[in-house]
Amino acid sequence: DTAVSQTPKYLVTQMGNDKSIKCEQNLGHDTMYWYKQDSKKFLKIMFSYNNKELIINETVPNRFSPKSPDKAHLNLHINSLELGDSAVYFCASSGSAEQFFGPGTRLTVL
Amino acid sequence: GENVEQHPSTLSVQEGDSAVIKCTYSDSASNYFPWYKQELGKRPQLIIDIRSNVGEKKDQRIAVTLNKTAKHFSLHITETQPEDSAVYFCAVSIGSNYKLTFGKGTLLTVNP
């Protein structure tokens, strides 16, 4: 009964490949987010959706494309992966101020 | 955009001592100030938060204070325990979309 879940937990891939990370929340929240945490542990917002509508789109390369098929799901697709994309990607959701984070997906680009 | 500075980057204390982590922010319109704890290999979890209309909030051994005039807020942990060892992040948001800008984190180590 995990509140915010992500798949996969680990993702190892070659440069140039395309990959997707999936996120689901069962909290009934309207808003979902994607964050990137780099090797120095810095957490930075990438995108946010509210009721399937994109509301936050930070300065992120257009190789990254979020998709929200419904308000319980927010997926992240990454094209043409680069070495610098290696990081932990966290999904989060919120119904008000508090954000609940998923367990993270550790992406390693070789 | 919003800029959040967090200090110190590392903090080592003896069990039972107090720990204080400070953050400053740049945008005076900021109105929500949460603190997250992230244990090694785990997800960030909210431990306490404060809104701009409140100066201080306590929850057992943790407290947060906010000085809106000076644009800084602090996390206070009393009677520290080894399980308090983690990375602590402050964050700031403006308005109702709850876009969080995080500080760079403080690695707290509590030595038994």
Task: Please give the Cα distance from B17 to A29 (Å, whole number).
Answer: 38
Residue of B86, B94, B77, B101 lying closest to B4 (CA atoms): B101
| Of A52 and A106, more confident | A106
Other beta carbons less than 10 A from residue A41's beta carbon: 16
Q: Which residues of B touch A48 (CB under 8 A)?
A: 97, 99
Provide the mean pLDDT of chain A.
Answer: 94
Cβ atoms of A90 and B44 within 8 Å: the answer is yes
Residue B48 in tokens: 């306490």
Interface with A, mutate which of B98, B104, B107 (most A CBs under 10 A): B98
The DSSP string of A29-85 is: -SEEEEEEE-TT--EEEEEEEETTEEEEE-S--TTEEEEEEETTEEEEEE-S--GGG
B72: left (phi over 0), alpha (psi -120 to 50) or beta: beta
Query: Is the pLDDT reported for residue A2 higher than 80?
Result: no
Q: From first to last of the 112 residues of chain B, give the pLDDT tens digit.
A: 789 999 999 999 999 999 999 999 999 999 999 999 999 999 999 999 999 988 999 999 999 999 999 999 999 999 999 999 999 999 999 877 678 999 999 999 999 9
**Residue B35: which of B9, B67, B73 has the closest Cα?**
B73
CB contact under 8 A, B43 and A102: yes
For A101, counting Cβ atoms within 10 Å of its Cβ (0-12 exposed, 13-18 middle, 19+ buried), the class is: buried
Interchain contact, B34 vs A101, CB within 8 Å: no
- Residue among A44, A2, A88, A1 at smallest CA distance from B40: A88
Q: Does A48 touch chain B (CB under 8 A)?
A: yes
Q: What is the pLDDT of residue B98?
A: 75
Residue A69: CB partners within 8 Å, gap ≥ 6? A52, A75
Could you report the per-residue pLDDT of A48-98, keeping only the tens digit for each?
999 888 988 887 899 999 999 999 999 999 999 999 999 999 999 999 889
**pLDDT at residue A58 in the model:** 86
